Structure formats: structure tokens, C-alpha cells
Homo-oligomer: A and B are copies of this chain.
Amino acid sequence: MYSFKNDYSEGAHPQILKALMETNLVQEEGYGEDDYSLKAIERIKEKLGRNNMDVHLLTGGTQTNLTAISAFLRPHEAAISASTGHILGHETGAIEATGHKVLSVESKDGKLTPAGVKAVLEGHPDEHMVKPKLVYISNSTEIGSIYKKEELQQLSDFCRANQLLLYMDGARLGSALCSKENDLQLSDLPNLVDAFYIGGTKNGALLGEALVICRDSLKEDFRYHIKQKGALLAKGRLLGIQFLELFKDNLFFELAEHANRMAGLLQEALTQTNVKFLTHSPSNQIFPIFPNTLIAELEKNYAFHVWEKVDADHSAIRLVTSWATKEEEVVGFIEELKRWL
């Protein structure tokens, strides 16, 4: 049984574990004030090509989203999310638990557009309704699509013109930035969004997300929020050491490229056999549509999520690759598939 279920089935990239071993007995400050965290933050700023931003290391995506969004919003303000957005339906109401409504915009491709956001604004004209304030996007999205630079620029322009904050969930940012279709660079993001995070958990770390706060007015006292939400690790070094490894050279991007290449191999083979896909996905998650009978066969040797019923006889499944996906397993999966298609 080999799993294409997600990108967090294995531990960490061996280089990260090695760094944890080597530094293990060095005494360090607690709560993210250790040298590794400070250096990792410097390294991330270098990669961003900017110094005037705050970087904080947190443990997971839901935690980063709820800590950031609750810190950024006043009580009457709401977030706007695509209908597929992780905060909308897959975080157990974490944002609402901090007091804020999440407004949904129906989206076929997982992305938000200025038109979609504008409609929300028009539907919320006065104090009898929440005030939409923060636009939440994911890149890559929950269904594998990515934002092109032009799309993000337009959304960014719209947000600025309408006093909206733009926040990017980067749980799979590595995969997005390393996509063949991508034309965004990491260093573009501070110009386009007000805050975003660089996902480590799904790209080779044991855990860890690096939140980057670009807008000055959102920076103040942020460590208070991290502590209050239970997100400030006593041994913050655990996050620092990992991000230092990911960013001291280009490991972060190399791992994402591997994941994408593996997904690309699958996608190419499936396309050749005329398999259709639920969405256009140039990243490490793909959603092929198979006959249910085939799915039942595949499930004997492979683990994956059945994503969505398409018709009475067909369903889309989700195949996810990662830094740890073995090429021989991908080849094996393709071969097995070809026996049935």
C-alpha cells in the first residue's frame, strides 16, 4: 500500500533531521528567541529581498490563520474566502471561534477575483451586517490551482482601492511558486499581499509555517497574539532549525519542485490515456476522474481521497505528491493504471 493521500504522510527531509541532531544539546533561549529562529528569519527576509517586514514561525496552518486573522481584524470585521477556502469549511470554525464571520464567494477554480469580492462588498452596505475587511486566498489553492501574477495584481489593486487586507494562505506556497505555470516570485509577494505564510509542514518540515507580515499597521504586538493562541513554542528552536535548513540554500524550492515533478508525471500519463480532471491543477495535487470500478481496484494498493462524486459511475480522486514521493511508486501507479484504462 502506497499513499498519495496527502503531503504530510512522512516525517521531515533528512537534512532537517540532521540539523536537529547536530544542534540538539546547544543551549538556546526559549519562545522563538533562539539563534536559529533569528537566523532563519533573516534568511527568509533575504529571500524576500526586503528587510522591512516581520516574520514569525508558527506550528501549523490553522493556527497561523486564526492567530493572524484574529489579530488583524476588529470585532465587527469579516473575512472573505472562496467557497473552497480552508478557513471556510475545514478548520472547525476556528476563525468564527475568534469572533469573525467568514463570507463565502462561490468559486469553480478555487480562486477569488475582484468581481467576486466586489459582490460581497455590495451585499454588505451597512452596520446591520458584518464589515468585510480581509480577503483570504490560498496559493496553491485547496484544489490545486495557482494564482498568476496578473490575477494577484488585480486582486491586490482591488483590495487596496477598497481598504481590504489581502492575506495569502501559503500552506502549499512552495508548490505554487515552483509550478511550471507560475510567474510569481517569492519576492513579489510583499508588494502584493499584506500578510502571507510560507508553509513548511507540507514541504519537508516536521511542522512549521513562517508568517510574513508586510503591512506595518499589522505588525504591532504580534507576539502577544502568538502567545495568547497557544502558538508560541517553548522550544521555538524546533521551528527555527527547520526553516534555517529550508532556506539557507534552496532546499525549500528543491523539495517543492520534486513534488510538482511527481504530480506532473502522473498528470502527463493520465492525460495521454484521455483521463479527464476535475480542475486544472499545475501543482502537487491533481484530481483525475475515474470510473468507480477503477477506483475500487486502485484502492487495493494505493491510498488516496475520493474527492467528489461526478456522476453515478464516476468520481474524482485526489492524488497528492510531496518531497518524499518516490518516483518508482509513481511509475508503478501509472503502470497499474494503464492495465485498467
Contacts and interface: CB of A to CB of B under 8 A. Distances in A.
B10 A17 contact: no
A238 to B, nearest CB: 5
A235 B206 contact: yes
A93 B78 contact: yes
Interface stretch (A44-52, A84-92, A263-271, A290-298): A84-92
B76 A224 contact: yes
Q: How many copies does the complex hold?
A: 4
Interface string A3-37: 10110111110100100110111111111000000
A70 B62 contact: no
A6 B30 CA distance: 8
Given A8-B235, A11-B23, A24-B10, A93 B100 contact: yes
A59 interface: yes
Contact of A128 (B10, B91, B201): B91
Contact of A17 (B20, B101, B303): B20
A274 interface: no
Chain A residues touching B, range = 35 or more
A75 interface: yes
A207 interface: yes
Nearest to A199: B234
A3 B5 CA distance: 44
Given A59-B59, A70-B75, A93-B100, A2 B27 contact: yes
Interface of A: 2-3, 5-6, 8-12, 14, 17, 20-21, 23-31, 59-67, 70-71, 74-76, 78, 89-94, 96-102, 123, 127-131, 201-202, 206-207, 221, 223-235, 237-238, 303, 324
Given A59-B230, A64-B230, 10 more contacts: A9-B29, A11-B20, A17-B21, A25-B324, A59-B233, A74-B221, A94-B228, A101-B102, A130-B224, A201-B234
